[in-house]
Structure 1
Amino acid sequence: MKDSELISENERIKKRIERQTTARWAAEELLNSKASELYLLNQNLITAKEVAEAASLAKSEFHANMN
Structure 2
Amino acid sequence: MNVDLIFKIAAVGIIVAVLNQLLIRSGREEQAMMTTLAGLIVVLMMIIQQIDALFEAVKSIFGL
TM-score (norm: length of structure 2): 0.54
Which gives a bigger RCO, structure 1 or 2 (Cα 8 Å, sep 6+)?
2
Q: Which runs of 5+ in 2 are unaligned?
A: 1-25
Structure 1: which 5+ runs fail to align? 1-6, 50-67
Greater helix percent: which structure?
A: 1
Pair 1:16 & 2:33 matched: yes
Q: How many pairs are equivalent?
A: 39
**Structure 2 residue corresponding to 1:28, chosen from 13, 27, 45:** 45
- What is the CA–CA distance in structure 2 between the aligned matches of 1:26 and 1:20, rounded to whole Å? 10
1:42 aligns with 2:59: yes
TM-score by length of 1: 0.52
Identity %: 0
RMSD: 1.8
- In the TM superposition, residue 28 of structure 1 has moved relative to its aligned partner by 0.9
